[in-house]
Amino acid sequence: MSSYPPLNVAVHTPRLSLLGATDELLERLVPVVREGVVTEAPWPFDDPMSLYEDNPQREWRWLRGVWAGRAKVSETFWRLYFVVVADGSPVGMQDLIGNEFAAFGKVDSFSWLAPAARGRGLGKEMRQAVLHLAFEGLGARLAASDAFADNHASNHVSESLGYRPNGVDWATHRGSPAELRRWLLTREDWTTRRRRDITLSGVAECLPVLGIG
């Protein structure tokens, strides 16, 4: 157990767990990051970690990004980092982001999954897990997500979980602009699909850190 409550938050489903991204778990995830260089479409977001590079600096940037994000927690902005563990092994990350959460009750999610772990339904499972944390644990009213238009897997997950189309936006991958599809899930729509086999731990102790009363 950590003395810092956000690192003790955990979400468990029958297939996987989202565990607070401690340094120990991040070290276990480094080989997955190292093997996750993207060489074919669909291309991911441009990111300080750069999923296109294959060198140690990429891993260092990823670690520094998580460390910096863990430290920038306030009532107006926070980002919870989770390592996704399936069958005892780390396979990716799932983040939950709150921007002016007290005012809007809205969260965004961001995730990535090791190429070897894709195609098994884990992407949908981890999204369901983090949505359960957002709505059941934190009392969110809205959850947003977005994905490049050609990322059919991510867009399908959003649609299958009840998100509704919420316009388009633009971002870059490999330095070129590309269209994003935006999605929005209301608490009411989540409630009709909520699962009863997902459990939470460590959430109550974390609420004061996030400024949630």
Summarised one tens digit per residue, pLDDT across range 92-135 is: 999 999 999 999 999 999 998 888 888 899 999 999 999 999 99
Summarised one tens digit per residue, pLDDT across range 31-73 is: 988 876 555 655 455 465 555 566 678 888 889 999 999 999 9
Q: What is the pLDDT of residue 212?
A: 96
DSSP string, 67-108: HHHHH---SSEEEEEEEEEETTEEEEEEEEEEESHHHH-EEE
Architecture label for domain 5-210: 3-Layer(aba) Sandwich (3.40)
Say yes or no to pLDDT of 211 above 60: yes
Instruction: Give the bridge partners for 144, in sequence order.
Output: 108, 184
Q: What is the pLDDT of residue 174?
A: 67
For 185-191, the CB contacts below 8 A with 24+ separation are: 185/131, 185/142, 185/143, 185/144, 185/145, 185/158, 185/161, 186/141, 186/142, 187/135, 187/140, 187/141, 187/142, 189/162, 189/163, 189/164, 190/131, 190/135, 190/143, 190/161, 190/162, 191/135
Confidence of residue 196 (pLDDT cuts 50, 70, 90): very high
Q: What is the pLDDT of residue 118?
A: 84
Q: What is the pLDDT of residue 150?
A: 85
